[in-house]
């Protein structure tokens, strides 16, 4: 069929409208993709910002079903993942999904294995499956991420610190950290020194945010004295750093809720 002679801006407005109403609805995407000439822009505008989340909100069956359908749509249509630029992957309650044929490890591996346009990645593994997710990251057949904004959340992870260090070192091998410009580190327990290691490898970092859930005693004492020596020492070599944000938990430094 002939290519409709519509301005590209109008096509973008159509896709944006469908993205708001039906972000993953096949009918909506099909309407946006009226012809092959619109294919790439239609896919990109429909899924460029995606959240696949099995968090505390999916403990109820209806929410879990919705999250599972969304995840399965990506698994069944892997080409969509190649257009995702902003991805939040939260598998804290993956055990409650309707994806019985997948382990959390294999699910993460398949999702990340199809991404090639990522600019932002938010990663929150489950408490019990975090070790498997890390193993998936180390074996997933994807190229080095061109990520410029990285968020790693281990605030609810109560596993052995070794596994946190293992996943972070795996991420370091997979992502070209010199291209990371914005970094959010949500820390748990003793993993704080491990997160410090990441900072020194992000040579082009411009924005750094720490969300501290609990800190080692020595670091807590240092921060409460106003020194911040551990963090400041880590960022000293970041010549392009413009914003440094350090957030403490509402219950105070070093004191669990």
Per-residue pLDDT tens over the stretch 70-116:
888 888 888 888 888 888 888 878 877 888 888 777 888 788 878 88
pLDDT tens by residue, 138-160:
666 555 567 888 887 776 555 55
For residue 247, list its beta bridge partners.
Answer: 211
Residue range 228-244: average pLDDT? 83
Quick check: 165 pLDDT over 80?
no
pTM of the model: 0.67
Tokens 């509402």 belong to residue: 250
Nearest to 109 by CA among 129, 128, 127: 129
Domain residue spans in the chain?
6-47
């Amino acid at each position: 069929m002939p290519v409709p002679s519509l301005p590209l801006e109008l096509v973008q407005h159509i896709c944006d409208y469908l993205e708001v109403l039906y972000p993953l609805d096949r009918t909506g995407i099909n309407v946006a993709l009226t012809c092959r000439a619109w294919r790439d822009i239609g896919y990109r505008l429909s899924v460029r910002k995606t959240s696949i989340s099995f968090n505390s909100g999916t403990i109820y069956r209806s929410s879990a079903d919705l999250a599972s359908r969304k995840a399965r749509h990506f698994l069944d249509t892997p080409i969509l993942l190649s257009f995702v630029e902003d991805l939040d992957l939260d598998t804290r309650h993956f055990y409650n999904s309707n994806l019985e044929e997948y382990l959390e490890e294999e699910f993460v591996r398949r999702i990340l294995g199809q991404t090639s346009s990522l600019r932002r990645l938010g990663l929150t593994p489950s408490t019990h499956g975090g070790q498997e997710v890390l193993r998936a990251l180390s074996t997933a057949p994807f190229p080095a991420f061109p990520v410029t904004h990285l968020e790693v959340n281990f605030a609810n992870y109560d596993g052995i610190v070794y596994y946190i260090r293992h996943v972070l070192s795996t991420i370091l091998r997979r992502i070209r950290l010199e291209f990371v410009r914005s970094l959010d580190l949500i820390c748990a327990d003793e993993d704080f020194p491990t997160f410090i290691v990441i900072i020194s490898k992000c040579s082009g970092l411009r924005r750094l945010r720490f969300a501290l859930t609990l800190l080692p005693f020595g670091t807590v004492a240092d921060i409460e004295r106003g020194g911040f020596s551990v963090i400041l020492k880590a960022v000293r070599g970041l010549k392009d750093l413009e914003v440094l944000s350090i957030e403490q938990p509402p219950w105070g430094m070093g004191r669990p809720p």
